[in-house]
Amino acid sequence: MSIVSTRIGRNDKQGDDNWTVFEYFTDHLKVEHVRPMIFVPDAEGGVNAKAVMEARVPAMNAKLRKWERRRVERGVKEGIDPAIVVADILARGHLTRRQTLRPIVQTFMDMEANPRTVRAAEWIRDNVTNAVLDTDFNQATRDRIRTRITDLIAMKADLEADEARQEVIE
């Protein structure tokens, strides 16, 4: 769920006495993340890139979590079943199941009513307990979430009933 190692891949001196250092962070899944940085030499003309990189690990962990939240949002917007999105994110291990909830719900609340939104509503209804909603969202937001879920699922039921009536008529 976090950065497990860090190393310098390349350390190039620039013409202005600065250094471009390519740092490589490896996460717990052995996925490598690369970040170029420019270092200004210290008073002795040296660069302690390793110490700077190690100090940046907490920030890199936060960025990995942010990227994963964006990945959740994209998946829901693209209409991917939230169960698949959550399973993928949990397999990566940068976010917990609870941490995937907020981006799913926020994306769901921002989407236009369509089959993708209904899929997200059904997933939230079936997988998110009232206790989790009560803990993670304020009262007004919980009420809006529950109302939207109810309305979308009712709309889906109405559309399915209309479709069934059309089939009988034809």
- Cα–Cα distance, 149 to 136 (Å, whole number): 17
The model's pLDDT over 120-164, given as tens digits with 9 standing for 90+, comes to 888 888 888 888 888 888 889 889 999 999 998 888 888 888 887
pLDDT of residue 16: 66
Q: What is the DSSP string of 43-69?
A: TTS---HHHHHHHHHHHHHHHHHHHHH
Name, in order, each residue with C-beta under 8 angstroms of 97's C-beta and a sequence gap of 6 or more. Answer: 86, 90
pLDDT of residue 155: 87
- What average pLDDT does the structure give for the chain? 79
pLDDT of residue 42: 62
pLDDT of residue 156: 85
Any idea what DSSP says for residue 170? -
Identity of the residue numbered 79: G
Residues of the chain falling short of pLDDT 50: 1
pLDDT of residue 60: 76
pLDDT of residue 17: 66
pLDDT of residue 14: 67
pLDDT of residue 115: 81
